[in-house]
Amino acid sequence: MAAPVTTKKSSTSGMKRKAEPSKEAHVKGTKKSKVDEESTKPEKKKSSKKEDKPEKKSKEAKPEKKAKKPKMAESSADDSDDMDVDGGVPLNEPEAEDTPMEDANDGIHPERRQFAAGQGPNGTSSREAHAKQKATIAERKAAKPLADPLLRTKKIWERLRRKSHVPKDERKALVEELFQIITGKVKDFVLKHDSVRVIQTAIKYSTPEQKRMIARELKGTYRQLAESKYAKFLIGKLLIQGDDEIRDLIVPEFFGHVRKMIKHAEASWILDDVYRGVANRQQKATIIREWYGAEFSLFRDGEKVSGDLADVLEKEPGKRAPIMRELKELINHLVQKKMTGFTLLHDAMLQYYLNVKSGTEEETEFMELLKSDEESDLLKNLAFTTSGARVVCLAFAHGVAKDRKHILKAYKDTIHLMAGDPNGHKIILAAYETVDDTVLTAKSIFPELLTKDADKQAENVVTAANDLNARTTLLYLFQGRSSSLFPASLSADIEVLNEVDIARATTSKKDPEIRRAELAKALSPLLLNAIASAADDLASTSFGCQFITEVLFASVGDKTAALEAVAAVAAGDPTAVVIEADSMDVDAAAPAADAMEVDVPFNDHSGGPRLHIANTAFGGKMLRSLIAGGRFDNKLKKIIPVSPPLNFADILYPVIEEHIIEWATGSSSFVVLSLLETENFSSKAEVLEKLKKGKKALQKAATEETAEQKAKAAEIAGAGKENGDVKAKKGKKKAAPTQKAVNGYKSRDIKEPFSSNIRLKIQRTRSTKMPIADNRSSGAKAEQPSQGSNTTTAQGQPGSTLNKTEAEKAAEEKATKEYLERMELEYEKREGGA
């Protein structure tokens, strides 16, 4: 049986079907292929299927008519059957006989080819047609209202926006011309993207009265401007000036439309900016009240209102259900729309959470709302606002273990940023106080807080220890809520933590002290390693010294390496380093230090020279505290030693032994005194022997001024003579300013067992500030200080004025003699005991 020949299925054939092979499909003795043979025959469009259903044939023939392609060679009926078996690409389509296209496909549009050949409409070329089109556009623009003024203002704007290239006089003239054009027509300019920039530039260079003029012209349109993609920035330009009249023109126009505006893509940002940074307290209350329902938008009176939801519910307790429902729906709408960064939203969430009833379905649904955001954008945004952080802290306190774990997980990559934020660090403290699973807390917070990279941990600890907010997240586990860790500027932290304490009483099972001790144990190795690696950087700042002291007192673990590193910072001659005051801009920071009521570090971190630790007030205080081995208890009036003891005196003395006289006669002379007073110091006799040998140096330090003091005195005296400001003061001599540290920075008073009179005889501070010279005439009788009085100068030396009287010198010599005698008695007593 002859093998069947496969042919291409016709374009008009139907579904593929199987047919019997044709007996006449192949002719014996013919070498010519079937395809070549059929290419010369006309195609017969017949099939058994089409013969059975003639009505379908006409329908299927229509697409062939539309195609208008040249007829192809027909195949026989038998071939058609074979063709339906396999289908495929038509092999019998003659390529050479294809009709060529009328237009060559060279990629150029026919009309463009005509223009290029100068055969466009009316015989115009492409360039001529383009010029005509530009002229038409210009005519249309000219026909619009304010066409000429708008064109001129744009040219002025183009010149004014180049701030550094326009002389002051030219800018003034351009601004005057600009205001002449826009006055009375501001509303016509503000709703177009190109012309609103002109008004913004006018506001930028205008006077306060001109700004008010623009604000008055725009009265009644501010809501529309807030919803404009371009004009909304104009509102920001007006409000940023801080003018109360302009604020009172703009903000009230938002009243009654708050619920609609907060949902608007453009107006919501302007509304939130106004609420957060511009509106006064009463305006904020009016805005937040509209979240409580439509009636608060419609019915408003001129009386003062409260934005506190608790006050609203107290006045109208019967409306609690609809108010809470309306508030929750609006909150949920914004959360679902991913509009979670608004301070206004965070305030509304706080008002809702403070008024839900504990243990009810409302509280459960709100907690689920907080966790509903899969990307945790809501929780992350809440962490950086005051109200939002409080919401999360309360969620930690009221939530169950599962809720707390979810919240911690949400902040996985945000802990480091939160630690330094004024609001975010509160959430970390709340987690310390509420999460019973301390292992989970340690794994979730500490690696993020200090980074997992061991090489960078010390650097991050130094940065955090010197940040007012971040240091609380490290020292809270060791210090608790002490006033030194939480100054007045962080009083809001204590209020939030007290609120958390009340709520966690029913939700947390572990004792707070046990929880804190377990966390401190987990954190201690990381901080001790950081002190051992970066003790020099930490000891160069006030906050760093406090950090070292508190960690070494309260941490758990081997502290030897850290103590040795701190002692190594004191190595070297304290008087060898010459400090260049110009390398440290400390005077600019002094007012900030006084305002914050904390010691401000003044050692330079920018690569400039640093003060030796012996010449810094905070460094000396740290060393004295470590030598004492515990904190001073104000109630008991004594030092409470830590356990196990630090024995820092034995570690420090070998480091400073070579320069013990320089330490005794310098700014940190009380470090040496602390060595003698501590009970567990094994080399007291050796120190006393060295001090006895250096008796002359001690006496000289107590009676003579340093070179710095003399130079400063001469400078002040010369300035006084030139300005005529130095005048003799008659009457009772007043005490000079209290002792200050280097470059005028305050040091905290330190209680010592010696009287202040003797203590200040030994100490020689290196302050650059000197008192005004006392130029009283030699005939004026100097007043003798009474017994127990202490006339102190900025140098910290009693009676160390520029012109000392004989009585003052005698008092100094007497005090020095008493001190040396006391030290000799102490030495003899110890020798006799030995």
Would you state the pLDDT for residue 709?
Answer: 67
Whole-number CA gyration radius for the chain? 44
How much is the mean pLDDT over the chain? 76
Q: How far apart are CA 705 and CA 763, in angstroms?
A: 11
Q: State the amino acid at position 328 in one-letter form.
A: K
Give rounded-to-5 percent helix, strand, coil for the chain. Answer: 60, 0, 40
Q: Is the pLDDT of residue 109 over 60?
A: yes
Q: Is the pLDDT of residue 339 over 60?
A: yes
Where is average pLDDT lowest: 429-433, 505-509, 702-706? 702-706
DSSP labels for 530-556? HHHHHHHHHTTSHHHHHHHHHHHHH--
Greater confidence (63 vs 516) lies with: 516
Q: Is the pLDDT of residue 411 over 80?
A: yes
Residue ranges of domains in the chain: 1-58+69-84, 513-682
Among the residues of 102-231, which ranges form H helices?
110-116, 126-143, 147-160, 168-182, 186-189, 196-204, 208-217, 222-226
Q: How far apart are CA 762 and CA 281, in angstroms?
A: 56
Average pLDDT of span 128-149 = 75
Backbone φ, ψ for residue 746 (5° rounding):
-70, 145
Average pLDDT of span 777-801 = 39
Q: How far apart are CA 698 and CA 691, in angstroms?
A: 8
Residue from 491, 352, 507, 484 nearest 748 by CA: 484
Q: Is the pLDDT of residue 768 over 50?
A: no
Using an 8 Å Cβ cutoff, are 27 and 78 in contact? no
Beta partners for residue 792, in sequence order: 798
**pLDDT category of residue 465 using cuts at 50, 70 and 90:** very high
Where is average pLDDT lowest: 76-85, 222-231, 394-403, 511-520? 76-85
Where is average pLDDT lowest: 144-148, 478-482, 602-606? 602-606
Segment of 131-135, 257-261, 665-669 carrying the highest mean pLDDT: 257-261
First to last CA, the chain: 132
Q: How far apart are CA 603 and CA 585, in angstroms?
A: 10
Would you state the pLDDT for residue 724?
Answer: 56
Q: How far apart are CA 670 and CA 683, in angstroms?
A: 16
Using an 8 Å Cβ cutoff, are 362 and 329 in contact? no
**Digit-coded pLDDT (tens) for 1-53:** 444 444 444 444 444 444 444 444 444 444 444 444 444 444 444 444 444 44
CB atoms within 10 A of CB 611: 21
Q: State the amino acid at position 185 in one-letter form.
A: K
Would you state the pLDDT for residue 499?
Answer: 95
Q: How far apart are CA 523 and CA 447, in angstroms?
A: 10
**pLDDT category of residue 132 using cuts at 50, 70 and 90:** confident
Would you state the pLDDT for residue 54?
Answer: 46
Segment of 85-99, 197-211, 589-603 carrying the highest mean pLDDT: 197-211
Greater confidence (120 vs 457) lies with: 457
**pLDDT category of residue 311 using cuts at 50, 70 and 90:** very high
Residue from 258, 268, 281, 257 nearest 235 by CA: 268
Would you state the pLDDT for residue 428?
Answer: 97
Q: Is the full-model pTM beyond 0.75?
A: no
How far is C-alpha 722 from the chain's CA centre? 50
Using an 8 Å Cβ cutoff, are 740 and 795 in contact? no
Where is average pLDDT lowest: 60-74, 442-456, 784-798? 784-798
**pLDDT category of residue 574 using cuts at 50, 70 and 90:** confident
Residue from 629, 622, 634 nearest 671 by CA: 622
Residues in the chain: 834
Average pLDDT of span 290-300 = 83
Q: Is the pLDDT of residue 790 over 90?
A: no
Q: Is the pLDDT of residue 827 over 80?
A: no
Q: How far apart are CA 734 and CA 738, in angstroms?
A: 12
Would you state the pLDDT for residue 107?
Answer: 65
Average pLDDT of span 104-126 = 63
Q: Quick one: which H or E segment has residue 698?
A: helix 695-703
Angle at 634 between CA 629 and CA 636, to 5 degrees: 80
Dihedral sign for Cα 514, 519, 522, 526, please: negative
**Digit-coded pLDDT (tens) for 755-765:** 333 333 333 33
SS3 507: coil
Q: State the amino acid at position 484 in one-letter form.
A: S
**pLDDT category of residue 729 using cuts at 50, 70 and 90:** very low
Residue from 370, 414, 410 nearest 394 by CA: 370
The distance between the two most distant Cα atoms of the chain, rounded to a whole number of Å, is 154
Say if residue 644 is preceded by a cis peptide, omega within 30 of 0. yes
